[in-house]
Amino acid sequence: MTNIKKVSELAGVSTATVSRTLKDPDLVSPQTREKVMVAVQQAGYRPNWMATSVKTGKSNSIVVLVPNLVNPFFMRIIEGIEQAAQEKGYSVLLGDTQGSASREHEYASMLLTNRADGLIQLDHSFPFSQDDAHLVGNLPVVSVCERIEGDKKYPVIELDNYAAARAVTHHLISYGHRSFGVIAGQISSQIHHDRLAGIKSVLAEEGIVFDEAMLVGGSYKIETGVEGVQQLLTRAQPPTAIICFNDDIAIGALYAIKKHGLRVPQDISVTGFDNVRVAAYMDPPLTTVDQPAYQMGRRAVEVLIQQINRQPLTRTREILPFSLLERQSTGPVSKPNQH
């Protein structure tokens, strides 16, 4: 391990000068700068990151908590996070929690051990353990998409889920649908409530009563969509339109509907959320709500770094624009409302 002292001896200067040359070259005369750079090159010297961190008290790393890695929507957010972080000189510690609270706690405690300067939470839970909660003063935390539960208020980058759900519902109603099924993801989250409220508000305006038996699901998986459709099709009056709370669910729904010998959208219309890449290549291409996932990740980092630098936040909640992509999985009802 070649350290700063070796370099300083090689260059015939003090360690301080070496440090300065590397950190702020303008503070050093051109001649010594040259000498030092030669020595650095020759010795193959790279400053020890950990040592620098101990001195400065900054790790220049952030942790990202994500419930699972296989959801391409999350990955797109993390892509944005990664990119923005790198540009700002931060690196990203990956915290795949698999929904486990103890894992969340473990990752979150990285903030307490100076291992990371900030945390981005993609899930909705308060990530710290009971024990740690006392120590969490104003630690930099930002949540994306979801809102973190609990008393502490953290900045959040999110979508107007209420409005998005309204847009979807309006779109379907414009095709004449009046009988709706919903296949939800994580029931306990704010997203769920906002979206459901959005749907119900439009239905109420249209004089349609939402039948709670038409609400199924419980997790953001393909299988949820498959099972959801199976359940909805057993109803006395199956829905003519199914709103899925993410694209994976919608993919499962498309699959199950076709498997039942029904056609999309002639028999049943299907919508998703997220606009995952494959969504456009489904058969039929999926009507879905596009979320600016990449941009959300980027913003999360910017806001987080503001917190880390103790700069005042202009606002504690940012709402990014969605757009409804009307593709071919939605269409007019082909038969009267009665089945």
Partner DNA sequence: CTGTTAGCGCATTCAC
Partner DNA sequence: GTGAATGCGCTAACAG
Binding site for DNA (CB under 7 A): 1, 3-5, 12-17, 19-20, 22-23, 27-29, 31-33, 45-48, 51-52, 54-57
Give the span between the Cα atoms of 78 and 35, in whole angstroms: 42
Which residues, 6+ apart, have CB-to-CB distance to 204 below 8 Å? none
Shortest spacing between CB 8 and a second copy, in angstroms: 18
Q: Which chain residues interact with a second copy by CB under 8 A?
A: 1, 44, 46-51, 53-54, 57, 59, 61, 64, 68-70, 72, 75-76, 78-79, 82-83, 86, 91-94, 96, 103, 106, 109-110, 112-115, 134-135, 222, 226, 248, 251-252, 254-255, 258, 277-278, 281-283
Name the binder of 83 from a second copy, DNA, none, CB < 5-8 A by kind: a second copy
* Secondary structure letter of residue 246 according to DSSP: S
Torsion of CA 23, 24, 30, 31, to 10 degrees: -40
Shortest spacing between CB 282 and a second copy, in angstroms: 8
112/208 with CB nearer a second copy: 112
94/204 with CB nearer a second copy: 94
Backbone angles phi, psi at 89, to 5 degrees: 85, 20
Shortest spacing between CB 146 and DNA, in angstroms: 32
- Distance in angstroms between the alpha carbons of the first and the last residue of the chain: 76
11/289 with CB nearer DNA: 11
Give the span between the Cα atoms of 82 and 77, in whole angstroms: 9
List C-alpha distances in Å: 197 to 3, 190, 201.
61, 10, 6
Shortest spacing between CB 241 and a second copy, in angstroms: 20
Which residues, 6+ apart, have CB-to-CB distance to 51 below 8 Å? none
Shortest spacing between CB 19 and a second copy, in angstroms: 14
* Secondary structure letter of residue 70 according to DSSP: S
Name the binder of 96 from a second copy, DNA, none, CB < 5-8 A by kind: a second copy
